[in-house]
C-alpha cells in the first residue's frame, strides 16, 4: 500500500426516469464507461448484482462483464458483489470460470451475503440463513475451481458432480474479495485469507472507523495471504472553480441516496461522511484518495455514474479522475 491507491470504477447500474434512458441504453452506457476506463489506463471496472428494483439493472454481473471483456483489453473486471445466497454454487463456479476464460484471466471475484430484505423475499431465501449459505457456497466454488469431482454434504446443498470442464484462466482461480458493510465482519474475512471490499458510507460514520475496520482485518490476515482492501466511494472531479457540473453531480447524488433502500445506512437523515464522497477540483479529489489510502485502501473504486447524472458530465469527470493519480 502506498500514497497512491489503484483506481477503478464501480457501476451500480441504478436507473432513474430522470436520466431519460431506457434500460438497454443505461446498460450500454455502462459498457461505454468500461471502454473509457480501459483507454484511460484505470485499474478495474466492477458491477453490482441487484434484483427486483431499478436500483440496479445488472441481475447477472457475469453477463455484463462478459460484454465488457469484449470491449476492453487490460481492465480487470469485478463483481461487487455476487450475492452467493441467491446462487447454486456449482452453477456459480461454472459461470465465473467461463467469464475468467473469456476475459483472458481478468476476473476479480467479489462476493457477499446480501443485505436487502426485498431481494431475499423475492427469491424465497430466509435472510437468517444468509451467512451459512454464503459460507457453504463459497467453499463449494473454491473446491470446484481446484479441479476434480465436486462432492459436498452441507446444510443447504448435497452435491456429487463431475469436475468442471472449464476452469478459471487464473491458476487457482481469480482473486476473491469478500464484501462487508459492518466493521465486525472484517476479522472473519482476514481469517479466510481473502481480500476485503467495502462501501463505507453505508454504515461507517468516519474515516477513523474505516481505518479501524482495515486494521482489524489485517490483524487476522495470515502472513502468507495476499489479501488487499478495496474501498468504493462516490466521486466527481470538477473542471475548476464554479464548474456547473459539480452542482449537477450533487443533485444526482442526493437522488441516488434518497432512492437507495439500505436499512441502517449511516446517511439516513443526513449526508455521508465527507471522506466517502470525493467531490471537487482535482487536487481535492486527489487528497481524498490519499486519505483513503492512509486508512488502508489498496484500491479505490469511484462510483461515477449515479442518480441520472448526465453522461457527458460523468465522462468528463472520469478523464480528470484518471489524471488525479498521475504525477
Q: Is the pLDDT of residue 54 over 80?
A: yes
Q: Is the pLDDT of residue 326 over 90?
A: no
pLDDT at 4: 74
Q: Are 12 and 306 in contact (CB under 8 A)?
A: yes
pLDDT at 280: 96
* Nine cell digits for residue 174: 481469480
- Kindly give the residue spans of alpha helices, DSSP state H, lying in the chain: 23-39, 61-71, 89-102, 117-123, 130-145, 186-192, 207-220, 244-258, 282-294, 311-324
Quickly state the pLDDT bin for 272 (edges 50, 70, 90): confident
> The dihedral of CA 219, 173, 57, 49: what is its sign?
negative
Average pLDDT, the chain: 93
pLDDT at 182: 84
Q: Are 115 and 88 in contact (CB under 8 A)?
A: no
CB neighbour list of residue 239: distance below 8 Å, 6 or more residues apart: 245, 281, 316, 320
Residue 254 forms part of a structural domain: yes
CB neighbour list of residue 108: distance below 8 Å, 6 or more residues apart: 44, 46, 76, 77, 78, 79, 174, 175, 177
**Region of residue 76 (left: phi > 0; alpha: psi -120 to 50; beta: else):** beta
CATH number, residue 30: 3.20.20.30
Give the pLDDT confidence of 21-31 residue by residue, as tens digits: 899 999 999 99
Residue 244 forms part of a structural domain: yes
Q: Are 234 and 253 in contact (CB under 8 A)?
A: yes
Give the pLDDT confidence of 204-235 residue by residue, as tens digits: 989 999 999 999 999 999 999 999 999 999 99
Residue 194 forms part of a structural domain: yes
Residue 169 forms part of a structural domain: no
Closest by alpha carbon to 33, among 324, 323, 311, 322?
311
- Print the domain residue range for 267: 6-80+175-324
Least confident range of 13-17, 142-146, 188-192, 315-319: 13-17
pLDDT at 261: 58
> The dihedral of CA 12, 18, 19, 25: what is its sign?
positive
Which is more confident, 151 or 325?
151
Residue 261 forms part of a structural domain: yes
Quickly state the pLDDT bin for 19 (edges 50, 70, 90): confident
pLDDT at 2: 46
* Nine cell digits for residue 11: 457501476
What single DSSP character describes residue 82? Answer: E
Please state the length of the chain.
327
Give the pLDDT confidence of 145-172 residue by residue, as tens digits: 999 999 999 999 999 999 999 999 999 9
What is the total count of domains within the chain?
A: 1
pLDDT at 271: 66
Quickly state the pLDDT bin for 270 (edges 50, 70, 90): low
Cβ burial of 220 (10 Å; 0-12, 13-18, 19+) is middle
What is the phi/psi pair of residue 297, to 5°?
-75, 125
Give the pLDDT confidence of 79-114 residue by residue, as tens digits: 999 999 999 999 999 999 999 999 999 999 999 999
CA atoms within 13 A on the CB side of 67: 14
Alpha-carbon dihedral angle through residues 237, 239, 244, 248, given to the nearest 10 degrees: -20
pLDDT at 255: 87
Q: Is the pLDDT of residue 267 over 80?
A: no
**Region of residue 299 (left: phi > 0; alpha: psi -120 to 50; beta: else):** beta
What single DSSP character describes residue 233? Answer: E
Return the SS3 of 251: helix
Return the SS3 of 106: coil
Residue 235 forms part of a structural domain: yes
What is the phi/psi pair of residue 303, to 5°?
-85, 105
Give the pLDDT confidence of 234-254 residue by residue, as tens digits: 999 999 999 999 999 999 998
Residue 138 forms part of a structural domain: no
Q: Is the pLDDT of residue 17 over 90?
A: no
Give the pLDDT confidence of 68-80 residue by residue, as tens digits: 999 999 999 999 9
* Nine cell digits for residue 179: 464484501
Q: Is the pLDDT of residue 269 over 60?
A: no
CA distance 86 to 134: 9
Residue 315 forms part of a structural domain: yes
Alpha-carbon dihedral angle through residues 55, 60, 63, 66, given to the nearest 10 degrees: 90
Q: Are 317 and 249 in contact (CB under 8 A)?
A: yes
Amino acid at each position: 500500500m502506498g500514497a497512491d491507491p489503484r483506481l477503478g470504477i464501480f457501476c451500480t447500474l441504478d436507473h432513474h426516469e430522470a436520466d431519460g434512458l431506457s434500460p438497454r441504453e443505461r446498460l450500454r452506457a455502462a459498457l461505454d464507461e468500461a471502454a473509457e476506463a480501459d483507454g484511460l489506463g484505470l485499474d478495474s471496472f466492477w458491477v453490482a448484482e441487484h434484483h427486483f428494483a431499478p436500483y440496479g439493472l445488472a441481475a447477472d454481473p457475469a453477463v455484463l462483464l462478459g460484454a465488457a471483456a469484449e470491449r476492453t483489453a487490460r481492465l480487470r473486471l469485478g463483481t461487487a458483489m455476487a450475492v452467493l445466497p441467491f446462487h447454486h454454487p456449482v452453477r456459480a463456479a461454472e459461470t465465473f470460470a467461463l467469464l475468467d476464460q473469456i476475459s483472458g484471466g481478468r476476473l476479480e471475484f467479489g462476493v457477499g451475503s446480501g443485505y436487502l430484505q426485498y431481494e431475499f423475499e423475492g427469491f424465497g431465501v430466509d435472510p437468517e440463513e444468509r451467512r451459512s449459505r454464503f459460507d457453504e457456497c463459497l467453499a463449494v466454488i473454491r473446491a470446484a475451481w481446484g479441479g476434480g469431482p465436486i462432492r459436498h454434504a452441507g446444510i443447504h446443498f448435497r452435491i456429487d458432480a463431475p469436475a468442471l470442464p472449464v476452469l478459471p484462466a487464473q491458476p487457482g482461480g481469480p482473486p476473491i474479495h469478500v464484501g462487508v458493510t459492518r466493521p465486525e465482519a472484517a476479522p472473519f474475512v482476514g481469517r479466510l485469507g481473502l481480500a476485503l471490499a467495502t462501501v463505507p458510507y453505508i454504515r461507517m460514520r468516519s474515516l477513523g472507523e474505516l481505518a479501524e475496520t482495515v486494521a482489524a482485518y489485517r490483524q487476522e490476515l495470515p502472513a502468507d495471504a495476499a489479501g488487499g482492501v478495496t474501498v468504493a466511494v462516490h466521486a466527481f472531479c470538477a473542471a475548476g472553480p464554479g464548474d456547473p457540473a459539480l452542482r449537477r453531480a450533487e443533485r444526482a447524488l442526493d437522488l441516488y441516496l434518497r432512492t437507495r433502500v439500505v436499512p441502517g445506512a449511516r446517511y439516513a437523515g443526513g449526508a455521508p461522511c465527507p471522506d466517502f464522497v470525493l467531490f471537487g477540483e482535482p487536487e481535492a479529489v486527489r487528497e481524498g484518495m490519499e486519505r483513503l489510502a492512509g486508512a488502508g485502501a489498496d484500491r479505490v473504486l469511484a462510483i461515477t455514474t449515479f442518480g441520472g447524472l448526465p453522461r457527458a458530465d460523468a465522462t468528463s469527470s472520469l478523464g480528470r479522475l484518471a489524471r488525479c493519480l498521475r504525477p
